[in-house]
Amino acid sequence: MIASLPVRIYRLWLKEMKHILPPTLYFFVAFNLISFTTNLLTRNYWFHLTSFMVATGLALVVGKVVLVVDKTRIIDRFRGAPLIQPILYKTVFYAVVVFVVRVLERFIHLAFDDAGFSAAFEAAALDFSWRRFAAIQIWIFTCFLIYCTATELSALVGEGQMARLFLRHRSSQHRLTRRQHVRALMELSRLAETTPRDRLLDPETPQGSRLVSIVDALRQRPA
Mean pLDDT of 77-101: 85
Residue 2 in this model has a pLDDT that exceeds 60: no
Nearest to 91 by CA among 4, 38, 23: 23
> Per-residue DSSP letters for 79-125?
TTS-THHHHHHHHHHHHHHHHHHHHHHHHHHHHHHTTSHHHHHHHHH
Average pLDDT over all residues of the chain: 77
Residue 213 in this model has a pLDDT that exceeds 60: yes
**Lowest mean pLDDT, pick from 3-7, 63-67, 157-161:** 157-161
Distances (CA, A) of 34 to 47, 154, 201: 12, 25, 52
- Cα 17-22-25 angle, rounded to 5 deg: 105
User: Where are the extended beta strands (E) located within the chain?
Assistant: none
pLDDT of res. 145: 92
pLDDT band at 113 (very low <50, low <70, confident <90, very high): low
pLDDT digits (tens, 9 = 90+) for 148-177: 898 888 877 666 666 666 666 555 555 566
Contacts with 66 (C-beta within 8 Å, 6 or more apart), sequence order: 19, 20, 23, 94
